[in-house]
C-alpha cells in the first residue's frame, strides 16, 4: 500500500487538478491586501475595509447578473445606463406622491424598481435572441436608449428625492448596519449566495453553462437556448435594480451621468473573477472577489502617492486586458 505523501506522481496529479483560474482571484486579493498594508497602515483597518467593501456593492451586485449573461455566451453593455434609467424612474415615482404613507410609498417604489429592471433586462434578452442581433450591438443600442431617456427625464439636470420622510426611512438601506455589518455587505452576500446556488446547484444553471459552452450541442440536447439566454438578461436586470435600491439612498439623486462606465467595471470584475468571456464557465464568488479587487486598487491609489487617483479608470482598463491575457495563457496550458 503506497502512502499518498510518499508518492510524487499523486502529488503532481493533485496539483494539476487545481483550477488556477478559480484560485487566482483570491490569491490576487490576498496579495493586494498585503501590498495595501505596506503602502499605508490605515488600509488594513476594519473601518477602511468595511468602507471599501460597502462602496463595491453596486458593481459587485451588477456583476453577479453579468456572470450569468457572460456564462451563457452573451454580453450586456447597457447596465450603467440601465442604472440611471431605473433609479430615475424610481425617484420620480417617490416624488409623485400618489401614495400618502411614506412606508407604503417606499415599498411600492422598490417593487417598481425591480419590475422596471426585469423589463429592461427582458427587452435586452428578446432583442438579442428573438431579434437575432449580436449582444454587443443590441446592448450598445439599448445603452444609448436608456441613457437618452434618462437625459430626457432629467432635462439634462438631476432628479432628486424631495420627500424628507422617505429619505429618513430609506437612508438605512445604504448607511445602516446589522450586528455591525453594513447593510450593503449583507446584500452582496445574499445576492452572491443566491446567484452561486442557481448557477451551480440548479438545472437552469447547468443549462446556462451548457449554452455558453456549446450552443449547438445544447440545442441538440433539448435545451431552449433562446429562453435560457433571455432569462440571463432578466437576471441581469434584477441585479441592476437591486444595485439601484442601494444607490438611491446613498445620494438621493440621479442624472444622465449616473452609472457611467459601470459596464466596464462589471465586465472587468467578472473576467478577473475567473469567468470565461467566451462563455461556458461562471464563478459568482470569483466575480465578487473581482469587484473587491477593483475597489481595493482604487483605495490603495487614494491612500498612497504612488499613482494619481485620476488614473483609476486607466488602471481598471489595464486590469481587464491583463486578466484576459492570463485567461488565454491558462487555457492554452490546459
| Contact criterion met (CB below 8 Å) for 246 and 40 | no
DSSP character for 177? E
**Residue 192 has what pLDDT?**
97
Tell me, what's the pLDDT at 324? 74
Return the ∠ at Cα 78 (arms to 186 and 126), rounded to 5°: 105
**Residue 17, pLDDT score:** 45
**Inter-axis angle of helices 57-71 and 183-201, nearest 10:** 10
196 within 8 A of 273, measured Cβ to Cβ:
no
Computed on alpha carbons and rounded to an integer, the radius of gyration of the chain in Å comes to 21
d(CA 120, CA 82): 7
**How many residues does the structure list for the chain?**
334
Compute CA 226 distance to the chain's CA centroid, rounded to the nearest angstrom. 23
d(CA 118, CA 113): 9
Question: What are the two backbone dihedrals, phi and then psi, of residue 160, each rounded to the nearest 5 degrees?
Answer: -115, 140
Q: What is the pTM of this model?
A: 0.90
| Burial of 250: CB neighbours in 10 Å, binned 0-12, 13-18, 19+ | middle
pLDDT of residue 309: 66
Q: What is the pLDDT of residue 329?
A: 67
Helix crossing, 20-39 with 312-333: angle to 10°? Answer: 150
| Element spanning 110, H or E | helix 102-129
Q: What pLDDT was estimated at residue 153?
A: 93
For residue 119, what are the contacts with CB-CB under 8 A and spacing of at least 6? 237
In whole angstroms, give the CA distance from residue 83 to residue 308.
28
In whole angstroms, give the CA distance from residue 61 to residue 291: 9
Residues 6 or more apart whose CB falls under 8 angstroms from that of 208 comprise 68, 71, 72, 199, 228, 232, 282
The pLDDT, as a whole number, for residue 332 is 59
Q: Tell me how far CA of residue 15 lies from CA of 133, 262, 284, 286, in angstroms.
A: 42, 37, 23, 20
SS (H, E, C) 282-314: CCHHHHHHHHHHHHHHHHHHHHCCCCCHHHHHH
What pLDDT score was predicted for residue 274?
Answer: 87
3-state class (DSSP) for residue 276? coil
Q: What is the pLDDT along the chain (334 residues), one digit of tens a residue?
A: 444 444 555 544 444 445 667 788 888 889 889 988 888 888 888 999 999 999 999 999 999 999 999 999 999 999 999 999 999 999 999 999 899 899 999 999 999 999 999 999 999 999 999 999 999 999 999 999 999 999 999 998 999 999 899 999 999 999 999 998 999 999 999 999 999 999 999 999 999 999 999 999 999 999 999 999 999 999 999 999 999 999 999 988 999 899 998 999 999 999 999 888 888 888 999 999 999 999 998 888 877 776 666 777 787 778 778 777 776 666 555 5
Whether the CA torsion 241, 243, 246, 251 is positive or negative: it is: negative
Question: Look-up: residue for cell 439636470?
Answer: 157
Rounded Cα gap, residues 69 and 208, in angstroms: 8
| Contact present, 192 and 56 (Cβ < 8 Å) | no
pLDDT value for 19: 65
CA atoms within 13 A on the CB side of 20: 12
pLDDT at 121: 97
Mapping DSSP to helix (H, G, I), strand (E, B) and coil, where does residue 2 land? Answer: coil
Amino acid at each position: 500500500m503506497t502512502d499518498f505523501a510518499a508518492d510524487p506522481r499523486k502529488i503532481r496529479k493533485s496539483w494539476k487538478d487545481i483550477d488556477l483560474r478559480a484560485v487566482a482571484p483570491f490569491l490576487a486579493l490576498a496579495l493586494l491586501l498585503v501590498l495595501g498594508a505596506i503602502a499605508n497602515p490605515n488600509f488594513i483597518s476594519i473601518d477602511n475595509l468595511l468602507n471599501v467593501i460597502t462602496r463595491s456593492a453596486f458593481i459587485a451586485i451588477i456583476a453577479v447578473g453579468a456572470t450569468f449573461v457572460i456564462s451563457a455566451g452573451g454580453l450586456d453593455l447597457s447596465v450603467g445606463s440601465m442604472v440611471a434609467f431605473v433609479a430615475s424612474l424610481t425617484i420620480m415615482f417617490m416624488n409623485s406622491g400618489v401614495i400618502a404613507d411614506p412606508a407604503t410609498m417606499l415599498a411600492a417604489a422598490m417593487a417598481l424598481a425591480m419590475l422596471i429592471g426585469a423589463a429592461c433586462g427582458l427587452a435586452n434578452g428578446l432583442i438579442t435572441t428573438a431579434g437575432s442581433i449580436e449582444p454587443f450591438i443590441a446592448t450598445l443600442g439599448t445603452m444609448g436608449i436608456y441613457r437618452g431617456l434618462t437625459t430626457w427625464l432629467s432635462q439634462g439636470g438631476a432628479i432628486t428625492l424631495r420627500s424628507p420622510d422617505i429619505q429618513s426611512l430609506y437612508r438605512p438601506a445604504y448607511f445602516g448596519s446589522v450586528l455591525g455589518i453594513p447593510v450593503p455587505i449583507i446584500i452582496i452576500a445574499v445576492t452572491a449566495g443566491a446567484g452561486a446556488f442557481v448557477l451551480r446547484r440548479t438545472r437552469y444553471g447547468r443549462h446556462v453553462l451548457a449554452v455558453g459552452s456549446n450552443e449547438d450541442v445544447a440545442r441538440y440536447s433539448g435545451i431552449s437556448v433562446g429562453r435560457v439566454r433571455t432569462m440571463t438578461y432578466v437576471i441581469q436586470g434584477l441585479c441592476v435594480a437591486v444595485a439601484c435600491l442601494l444607490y438611491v439612498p446613498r445620494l438621493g439623486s440621479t442624472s444622465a451621468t449616473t452609472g457611467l462606465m459601470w459596464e466596464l467595471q462589471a465586465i472587468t470584475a467578472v473576467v478577473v473573477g475567473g469567468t470565461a468571456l467566451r462563455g461556458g464557465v461562471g464563478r459568482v464568488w470569483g466575480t465578487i472577489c473581482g469587484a473587491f479587487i477593483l475597489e481595493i486598487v482604487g483605495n490603495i491609489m487614494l491612500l498612497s502617492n504612488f499613482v494619481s487617483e485620476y488614473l483609476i479608470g486607466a488602471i481598471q482598463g489595464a486590469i481587464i486586458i491583463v486578466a484576459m491575457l492570463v485567461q488565454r495563457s491558462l487555457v492554452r496550458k490546459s
